[in-house]
Chain A
Amino acid sequence: MGRRTPDLGRFTDVALLVLISLAEGQKHGYRMINDIEEFSGTSLEPGTLYGALMRLEQRGWIEAVESAERRKPYRITEGGREALREQLATLRRIELAGAKRTGVAWGSS
């Protein structure tokens, strides 16, 4: 699987961050932005976040949870978990290849 997922375009990285965020449980937009900023240092703006959510929802990787609240939570689907596993595996292969070629192993000084 290629690093840049077809159809997600420039949202590939944001989509990965969203899937990782939702992997620990359902969240609405506000909590997702805070969570992503906390674990990745990436500060997302609403236009970018909802561009990614739209694509992930269309692919069936996430789904909205019914709520009467103004803040609608989203949860990851089985298809989304599978896609996340594949993307993380790809990242791991890239990391291993990078570490091998540069002699740098993450976490070691």
Chain B
Amino acid sequence: MMRIVAGWVLVLYPPVWRRRYGEEVRDLLDSRPVRLRTVLDLARGATDAWLHRERVPGAKPLLIPLPLVLPITSYGLLSLWNPGVRDVPSLYGVWAMAADTGALAEALETLATSLFIVAGGTAILSAAPLLITSLAVLAGRRLPVTRGTALGVIATALLLVLPIWLFCQLYYQLVFADAGFPVGPLGDAMTGGFFAPIVIALVLPLSSVAAYTPALGPGVRNSAGTLAVAAGCNMAAWLPVALLLLLGLPQASPGFVVAVTASALVSGWMGAVVARRALRQGRTATQRLSLS
């Protein structure tokens, strides 16, 4: 049990430290007795490694960690939506003018909504390869630390089920069950752009937990690729929204245009940052796999 807890404590170390020393310490944990004292020593070591992160060979200046950036960006994105994008006269005016072009406006609206749904759905599905690999590890005869990480992946997934389900449910109620805002077809088309990147970001912790365990490497790599597809769909979905806005631009208030543009940039950036991190973790996992 202590061996598994010690494996989890290793996740608390800075990523640069884990890249440099993680495997060696895992090896020590696999080959020596692990007691409460060992776990406490590792926890103290994790604090020390964060406080003196610049001393780890190969460490670059500390950037704001992604686990802090993503919640702040999510909050910023939702703040842009409310009230920036929920400008009722602009939403109705732009849509009315765009709708004069005929079927094109409806096609663009359907395309944007579909791509955002595909982005969110693909992000959720990206957890599947990692979960399957983790279950296979648990079913096989693996080192306790590896089994502990696989268990950590499954526990993280269970923790994420509720927030992801809540976001999906809220999106469904707003867009398809007319529970209130968004306003009109243009509002429907855009709403996904505020939910999809948050769902994409919520899935990232799974591969972060698994990235340094070679046995979970194939799952991390496949999960990262799928998450990158989700981020791509999220970015692409803003293009039909931009076209709709252009078609009805004279009816949009300047504040609305700025809010939609900023939302598209923040939403796309958020998805791209998560995809980049996931792909990097996939590469790390592949390298670890080839070394093991």
Task: Given A70-B27, A71-B27, decide whether A58 and B57 contact each other with a Cβ distance below 8 A.
Answer: yes
A57 to B52, CA, bound (A): 13
A54 to B18, CA, bound (A): 12
Asked if B100 is an interface residue, CB under 8 A from chain A, the answer is no
Residues of A within 8 A of B21 (CB): 50, 53-54
Q: Which of A34-56 contact B (CB under 8 A)?
A: 45-51, 53-55
Q: For A28, A45, A47, A57, which residue has the most chain B Cβ atoms within 10 angstroms?
A: A47
Asked if B60 is an interface residue, CB under 8 A from chain A, the answer is no
Q: Are A46 and B292 in contact (CB under 8 A)?
A: no
Q: Are B56 and A30 in contact (CB under 8 A)?
A: no
Closest A-chain residue to B55, C-beta based?
A: A58
Q: Are B41 and A45 in contact (CB under 8 A)?
A: yes
Task: Given A45-B38, A47-B41, A68-B291, decide whether A57 and B57 contact each other with a Cβ distance below 8 A.
Answer: yes
Q: Are A70 and B41 in contact (CB under 8 A)?
A: no
Asked if A33 is an interface residue, CB under 8 A from chain B, the answer is yes
Closest B-chain residue to A47, C-beta based?
A: B45
Give A84-102 as 1s and 0s: 1 = Cβ < 8 Å from B's Cβ atoms: 0000000000000000000
Asked if B178 is an interface residue, CB under 8 A from chain A, the answer is no
Give B20-54 as 1s and 0s: 1 = Cβ < 8 Å from A's Cβ atoms: 11011111110110000110011111101100100
A55 to B45, CA, bound (A): 12
Closest A-chain residue to B214, C-beta based?
A: A70
A49 to B29, CA, bound (A): 13
Q: Are A30 and B32 in contact (CB under 8 A)?
A: yes
Residues of B within 8 A of A3 (CB): none
Residues of B within 8 A of A58 (CB): 55-57
Residues of A within 8 A of B49 (CB): 51, 54
Residues of A within 8 A of B45 (CB): 46-48, 50-51
Closest B-chain residue to A53, C-beta based?
A: B21
Interface size on B, residues (CB 8 A): 28
Residues of A within 8 A of B32 (CB): 30, 33, 46
Task: Given A51-B49, A54-B49, A68-B291, decide whether A46 and B55 contact each other with a Cβ distance below 8 A.
Answer: no
Closest A-chain residue to B42, C-beta based?
A: A47
Rounded to whole Å, the gap between the CB of B269 and the closest CB of chain A is 34
Instruction: Say which residue of B24, B41, B46 sits within 8 Å of A48 (CB atoms).
Output: B41
Instruction: Say which residue of B46, B57, B291 sits within 8 Å of A47 (CB atoms).
Output: B46
Rounded to whole Å, the gap between the CB of B90 and the closest CB of chain A is 56
Residues of B within 8 A of A70 (CB): 23-24, 26-27, 291-292
A29 to B29, CA, bound (A): 11
Task: Given A30-B31, A51-B49, A54-B56, decide whether A46 and B23 contact each other with a Cβ distance below 8 A.
Answer: no
A100 to B26, CA, bound (A): 47
Closest A-chain residue to B31, C-beta based?
A: A30
Q: Are A29 and B25 in contact (CB under 8 A)?
A: yes
Q: Are A46 and B25 in contact (CB under 8 A)?
A: yes
Given contacts A45-B42, A51-B48, A70-B26, list 14 more A-B pairs with CB under 8 A: A28-B24, A29-B25, A33-B32, A45-B38, A47-B44, A47-B48, A48-B44, A49-B28, A50-B24, A54-B21, A54-B49, A55-B52, A71-B24, A72-B24
Interface residues of A (CB under 8 A from B): 28-30, 33, 45-51, 53-55, 57-58, 68, 70-72
List 3 tightest A-B contacts by C-beta distance, closest first: A47-B45, A45-B41, A47-B41
Interface residues of B (CB under 8 A from A): 17, 20-21, 23-29, 31-32, 37-38, 41-46, 48-49, 52, 55-57, 291-292
